[in-house]
A and B are shown apart, each in its own frame.
Chain A
């Protein structure tokens, strides 16, 4: 296994150990369960807004572990030790992004099936939600990582993370929910936004990590 592979394996192990996989999924399902309580058990209404609910819940779930993605490693000197061993911070950030996606997106997509059942979504809508999540969650992982690097070492970072990340996630939400109406164009735009975020986030996060190290 090469260095980047070891970093991804380490982050996945830490995510498992820290409840980083169970928590977002439980949170996601809880939001999906709470929604019918708020809008009433109208099955037609729920089926219509259910896809959007799943998207909003996915966004919040991706944000949950944002404080432990970069901050603890910056504090405990892990990035210094990696830097000494010749790793670029952008490479480390890319590994962390991939590990974050692996730890939250597949479980979330499984949980979305349960949520769809709870909200009474038709099978066709569920299919589009799953496809949208597959395309959009890498973008969410990228945003979470970049946000995490920008807020590392700050006090009260969690609230700030929400303020930073949620507005930037709006395009993902628009095109993700838009794809539910059956627009292939929305899926393509979702893919484009996701790709831009995935391509840019390691460099943004890497730069923030380097600044924090100095």
Chain B
């Protein structure tokens, strides 16, 4: 974990990513400071998700060193209990974040992602796009300095993609860092490009 007194930053020092014995990328180095964003692009199966999982600490790098602050991950799997209401499912995760006031954070995140009206709807009744927005709401609610978004635009309509872009811009404006892996168009002004 990073030193809490330092401003949060994401740094890859000569990181090699491998999966199942196959090398995906070699000696990747970059540093993202507060307010920075990176767009990870490349064809399917090239290691975009693995790069994000390494940054999240879920996958050990085959080589190299990663410095990362507390992060929030939006991956393909929603990880929301289907039987619970949207608000309750998000509150379960928000309560596990090391920041206070989970209820308020969830309410604010639901409003920010345009899901406030669906707060009391069970997760199993949500559409694919609504579930994706719910996963984004969990990232917003976490107040983590680093956002790791894996294909966040998948299943989202045009309006929701704009919301996503606005939320990332807002997060960066407040000194956050975002890494977005995508094969579609997500506009991140001034983002570093990491092409795998």
**Which residues of A are interface residues toward B (Cβ below 8 A)?**
1, 3, 6, 10, 14, 17, 75-78, 80-87, 213-214
Contact = CB atoms under 8 A, between A and B. Distances in A.
Shortest 9 CB-CB contacts between residues of A and residues of B: A77-B77, A77-B79, A78-B79, A81-B79, A85-B96, A84-B73, A76-B77, A76-B79, A83-B58
Nearest to A82: B96
Interface of B: 19, 53, 56-60, 71-73, 75-81, 83, 92-93, 95-98, 138
Contacts of A84: 56-58, 71-73
Nearest to B59: A214
A135 B56 CA distance: 40
A85 B60 CA distance: 16
Given A10-B81, A84-B57, A84-B71, A77 B19 contact: no
Given A10-B92, A81-B93, A75 B77 contact: yes
A17 B83 CA distance: 8
Given A10-B81, A214-B60, 10 more contacts: A1-B95, A10-B92, A14-B83, A17-B83, A76-B80, A77-B76, A78-B79, A80-B75, A80-B77, A84-B58
For the complex, would chain B's binding face be called helix, strand, loop or mixed by DSSP majority?
loop
A77 B139 CA distance: 14
Given A6-B92, A6-B96, A10-B92, A80 B58 contact: yes
A47 to B, nearest CB: 43
A160 to B, nearest CB: 22
Contacts of A214: 19, 59-60
A146 to B, nearest CB: 22
Contacts of A14: 81, 83
B2 to A, nearest CB: 13
A83 B75 contact: no
Most B CB contacts (10 A, CB to CB) among A14, A80, A84 go to A84
Nearest to A9: B92
Contacts of A75: 77
Contacts of B57: 83-84
Contacts of B75: 77, 80
Contacts of A83: 56-58
B58 A85 contact: no
10 contacts: A3-B96, A6-B92, A6-B96, A76-B80, A77-B76, A82-B96, A83-B56, A85-B93, A213-B59, A214-B60
A103 to B, nearest CB: 16
A213 B19 CA distance: 11
Contacts of A85: 93, 96-98
B73 A81 contact: yes
A71 B77 CA distance: 13
A32 B76 CA distance: 45
